[in-house]
């Protein structure tokens, strides 16, 4: 029996890894095509593009694991059914439940892989890739401190105390230097909104530092042209979806103590915890298709169905999270609903197959 289980695990794992490699290659190819449009901007060349694509790969792996598990398991099981190996397994005394439990071992492994990549690898690699790209193209360097976000913008240093989720800047301090690194001006603004080409500043105080005197004036509105863009800020800003589960939990506790809204961070936390479990559900969802192989459809049809189901899961997952945030639904329910629905579907399909 152990030999049979090892054979089943080996064939299914091989198929999942094969599908995963194919999907990852496809996403990497699309990334490469998209980045080729930026060749020649600053110091962004082919070598850095390849590094960017490589650093972006873990993020794609995190997204495609459940889909790859579903398609790979479906392909493996339908091939086994086509060669009558599933029938032999049943005749040898291995029940549907035993087959399912064996496949769940594979699901557990890929669930752990998903969690580790999402928690430890993707946040670092994605941020490194984006910072490398922006530094090569725009020569903008930034760092986060307790005093806010600090950005080197040409000969100026910019401090932004707060960056809102819509990329609106709050409490901006711009320190201008000359070629000899002498400070020549300090500009302060209450708010800044990007208009597509430059920043619209409000409540601006301009202070010019001369050799013998200091001049200061106040403006209700002013324009600020800078290499800093909302895309850069969205990358440097640690959004909930990119935070680790532990950091999310700590930050939720901090917001709760300060009586601030935590719904967005709670949804992101539960999504981080629930998403890896999708691999277990996908394995169970694939199992009924193996027993349906002899009755209807070809291997190609089953694979196509697997792709559609995988896309449907990703869409439902994103929609559920966004609806939960917009309607202030329970965070756990918003995160677990798509996975729970697919789990119920897998149980119902298994029950239907057993009654045939």
In angstroms, what CA-CA distances link 154 with 140, 151, 169, 176, 341? 7, 9, 19, 9, 52
Question: Among the residues of 117-156, which ranges form H helices?
Answer: 122-138
Ramachandran sector of residue 56 (left: φ over 0; alpha: ψ -120 to 50; beta: rest): alpha
Residue boundaries of the structural domains of the chain: 2-137+240-355, 141-226
The predicted pLDDT at position 202 comes to 93
Q: Over the stretch 214-251, which tens digit does the pLDDT of each residue have?
A: 888 999 999 998 877 776 666 555 567 767 788 788 77
Instruction: State pLDDT tens for residues 140-171.
Output: 555 555 667 787 777 888 888 877 656 778 88
Tokens of 106: 């594979």
**DSSP of 45-74, one letter per residue?**
-HHHHHHHHHHHHHHHHHHHHHHHHHHHHH
Burial (0-12, 13-18, 19+ Cβ within 10 Å), 61:
buried
Sheet of strand 148-153: strand arrangement = 141-145, 148-153, 156-163, 169-177, 183-194, 199-209, 214-224
pLDDT of residue 294 exceeding 60: no
- For 45-102, the pLDDT digits (tens) are 888 899 999 998 998 998 899 999 998 888 888 887 777 777 777 777 777 778 888 8
């Amino acid at each position: 029996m152990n030999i049979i289980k090892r054979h089943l695990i080996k064939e299914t794992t091989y198929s999942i890894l094969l599908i995963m490699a194919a999907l990852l290659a496809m996403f990497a190819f699309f990334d490469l095509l998209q980045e080729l449009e930026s060749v020649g901007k600053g110091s962004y060349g082919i070598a850095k593009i390849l590094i960017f694509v490589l650093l972006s790969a873990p993020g794609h792996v995190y997204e495609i694991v459940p889909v790859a598990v579903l398609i790979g398991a479906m392909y493996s099981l339908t091939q086994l059914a086509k060669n009558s190996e599933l029938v032999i397994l049943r005749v040898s005394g291995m029940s549907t439940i035993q087959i399912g439990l064996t496949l769940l071992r594979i699901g557990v492994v890929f669930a752990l892989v998903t969690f580790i990549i999402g928690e430890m690898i993707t946040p670092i690699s994605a941020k490194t890739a984006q910072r490398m790209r922006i530094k090569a193209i725009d020569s903008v360097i930034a760092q986060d401190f307790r005093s806010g976000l600090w950005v080197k913008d040409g000969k100026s240093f910019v401090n932004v105390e707060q960056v809102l989720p819509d990329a609106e800047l709050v409490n901006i301090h711009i320190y201008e230097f000359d070629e000899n690194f002498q400070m020549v001006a300090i500009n302060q603004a209450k708010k800044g909104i990007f208009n597509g080409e430059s920043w619209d500043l409000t409540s601006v105080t301009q202070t010019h530092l001369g050799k013998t005197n200091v001049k200061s004036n106040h403006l209700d509105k002013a324009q600020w042209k800078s290499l800093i863009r909302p895309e850069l800020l969205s990358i440097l800003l640690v959004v909930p979806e990119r935070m680790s589960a532990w950091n999310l939990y700590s930050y939720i506790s901090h917001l709760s103590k300060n009586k601030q809204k935590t719904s967005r961070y709670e949804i992101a936390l539960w999504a981080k915890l629930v998403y890896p479990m999708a691999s277990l559900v996908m394995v169970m969802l694939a199992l009924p298709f193996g027993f349906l192989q002899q009755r209807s459809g070809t291997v190609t049809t089953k694979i196509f169905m697997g792709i559609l189901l995988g896309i449907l899961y990703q869409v439902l997952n994103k929609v559920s999270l966004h609806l939960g945030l917009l309607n202030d639904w329970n965070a756990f329910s918003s995160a677990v609903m798509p996975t729970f629905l697919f789990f119920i579907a897998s149980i119902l399909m298994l029950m239907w197959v057993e009654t045939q």
